[in-house]
Amino acid sequence: MDKTDVRYIKGVGPGNALLLEKIGIRSVEDMFAYLPFRMEDRRNYISARELTAVLPSDESFFVAGTVKKITGGKSPRRRARIVEITLEDKAGTGNIRLLAFQNRVKYILAVIEIGQEIAVYGKVELLAEGLTMSNFDFEVLKAGEKSLSFFRRVPVYRLTKGISIKRFRRWMWNALEKYSQSVEEFIPADTRKRLTLPSRPSAFRNSHFPDTPRALSEAYRRIKFEEFFIFECAVAYNRAQIKKTRKDLTYKLKKNLLTPWKESLPFDFTSGQKTAINDIFRDMLSPFPMNRLIQGDVGSGKTVVAAASAVLAKENGYQTAILAPTLPLAEQHFKTLSSLFRAGVVKTLLLTGGMKKEDRRLALEEISSGKADVVIGTHALFQEHVKFKKLSLVIIDEQQRFGVHQKAALSAKGSSPDILVLTATPIPRALSLALFGDLDRSEIRVLPPGRKKVETIQGSSQEAYGLIRKQIDKGFQAFVVYPCIEENETQEDYSAKAAYKYLSDEVFPDYRVTLLHGRMMPAAKSAAMEKFAAGKADILVSTTVIEVGVDIPRATFMLIENAQMYGLSTLHQLRGRIGRGGEKSCCFVTVAGADSLALERISCFLKSSDGFELAEKDLELRGAGQYFGSAQHGMMDISFNYNKALEEKFPDLSDIAVLNAAREEAFPLLEKDPALRNNRALKTRLMARFSEGFNLAKVS
């Protein structure tokens, strides 16, 4: 790795280094990894005659020529400073008018002179005055000097104020010229040969200043593979560490609590639940810590499966901690589990940050004394003064919403506890294997009997309002979901706050409307949910904070406004909040300004209610990037620097194909060389990338 401070790149210096730090560039390697979001093809210039033939056009064009005339003055319409340059094209077929206004005028007059050869790039209009370019990039061409902005494919970067694109390109070129050959190669040579991957220095050079389109494509294939390979090596290492660890606590299947508890339930387990419970019990009875993922569709009964594992822990004298990402979900788990344990088999406790001081003190005493068998909470569970007497099982709901250090802090409260991860977001099979390779997996696909399919339809808001009135008049309740909280969060869409006022004042003045969103204080969130759950509100206006875990049996209608703004899995999760009481239910979506991809997504949502099927379709439509953009998994944040626009230029570089190739290389490598003694550079890279992550190997 080249950790040379970015200030030492020719032309940068201490002041510019501070500006670069604002966009995350601190070292030379950071510089190389800051990939362009777009490439502009400026290899060949076009003549005035050729331009006239292709206009009008939304494309930008490269024109080269000689400056014949420069005039300055003020624009009659804009009353602004203006400079007009007449440029004769290099082929001598005609002239181009270049117009610059206001702040650019002084700079252009100082740089451009009559008789100079210049290159310009921008959009061209055919006006009465002739071919005109009014917003353009330019460069004065000098003999013997290599241009980084013309006569090549030119990288375009997202930068911060104070850094011009031309200066940044020059810094990047200087960095590559001096430092690229010192970049450390850590992918094994046989892997590179087998997959015909370019070297790391070559990949960096061609990702910024490619020699050919193929060189650019290959550079991005290498960079993408590198990210996935590092990830898969970490997953493989993590799994190996877990399998080597022996847990301190042991279990026996006594059935003195399990059998009466099971018999007390008013329903039978589905086949999927039985299989998952058997998988979990087998793991818990083994001498090695469980590290299992339970994937289930919306309403498949994952909570009951988690409850069964908690009963086994209680039967052996141990405690269970259940970690939920949001307060509403923690409260929902507490309510559901309290109901499942109503026979008094297991004592359940809810620990939240907003508890009164005395209630909290008593709760902490029950946890430390072992009187509390199952402790449910959000981030409050991480706190140092929360001490368990005998924690043996940690259940993490929606693990991608927690960082590894948070999960580690909870796991450290026990001695090599079993880890059970629940997710209500079905993940495509190929991705599940690659993303969660350190976890054993169980799937629950069968829904409990009695759950009716939710009707899903598309229409206008006014149509939905009429249907909402009918449902409320029958004694039921409705959700109305908006994509944002504040009006200024998007330019065109209603916010939840604005909608709440509009709906309560104008549309439903005779009904009880309440509001819930993620920025409300915990007490206010709880009050809003309790009000709705108790039937004291008819309509809940919300953002996607209700996406997971909210269970309101009387809610039979959901209106999702601007559904084109959501992914398929989010839409499916939202739909899962209704129809939980056995009544016929309806999910109604409105769509505005959707592109073809969004329309196809909505079409799939209207046709299918199978979460696993929708997950596969979402992968097909949006690619694997949706699972990586900001998601956390295990020891790392996965966030790639490459841009989707570039990906679309190279559709052959499928995320899934590259991810699977990385997995197929990483796992055998770690099996042969588990300590990476023969792959020192890779080991150094892993340790540097994930810092103390490998000390947290038992936390998936």
Nearest to 699 by CA among 413, 444, 431: 413
Determine the angle formed by the axes of helices 596-607 and 611-622, rounding to 10 degrees: 170
From the options 3.40.50.300, 3.30.200.20, 3.30.420.40, 2.40.37.20, give the CATH code of 455-608.
3.40.50.300
What was the pLDDT predicted at 385?
A: 86
Q: Which letter does DSSP use for residue 488 in this model?
A: G
Determine how β-strand 319-323 pairs with β-strand 136-140: unpaired
What was the pLDDT predicted at 497?
A: 85
Nearest to 32 by CA among 9, 15, 50, 11: 9
Residue 354 three-state SS: coil
CATH class of 258-444: alpha beta
**CATH number for the domain formed by residue range(s) 44-150:** 2.40.50.140
What was the pLDDT predicted at 691?
A: 56
* pLDDT surpasses 70 at 510: yes
Q: CA dihedral defined by 522, 524, 528, 530, rounded to 10 degrees?
A: 60
What was the pLDDT predicted at 414?
A: 67
Q: Which letter does DSSP use for residue 57 in this model?
A: -
In the predicted model, what is the mean pLDDT of the chain? Answer: 85
Q: How far from each other are the two terminal CA atoms of the chain, in whole angstroms?
A: 27
What was the pLDDT predicted at 640?
A: 37
Alpha helices in 436-547 (DSSP H): 461-473, 496-502, 522-533
Q: Do domains 258-444 and 455-608 have the same CATH topology?
A: yes
What are the φ/ψ torsions at residue 61 (nearest 5 degrees)?
-130, 150
Which tens digits make up the pLDDT trace of 351-371? 988 888 999 999 999 999 999
What tokens were used for 161? 């104020």
Cα–Cα dist 311/200, whole Å: 52
Which tens digits make up the pLDDT trace of 165-188? 999 999 999 999 999 998 889 999
Which tens digits make up the pLDDT trace of 564-580? 988 888 899 899 889 88
What was the pLDDT predicted at 433?
A: 65
Cα–Cα dist 28/7, whole Å: 9
Higher-pLDDT residue of 634, 588: 588
Average pLDDT score over residue span 19-30: 94
* pLDDT surpasses 70 at 656: yes
Domain residue ranges of the chain, discontinuous segments joined by +: 44-150, 258-444, 455-608
Cβ pair 331, 458 in contact under 8 A: no
As beta bridge partners, residue 27 has 5
pTM: 0.68
Cβ pair 321, 349 in contact under 8 A: no
What was the pLDDT predicted at 614?
A: 85
- In this structure, the number of other CB atoms found within 10 A of the CB of residue 118 comes to 20
What is the per-residue DSSP string for 202-219? Answer: HHHHHHHS-SSHHHHHHH
25-29, 466-470, 540-544, 620-624 — which is least confidently predicted? 620-624
Which tens digits make up the pLDDT trace of 393-403? 999 886 554 44
90-104, 204-218, 363-377, 631-645 — which is least confidently predicted? 631-645
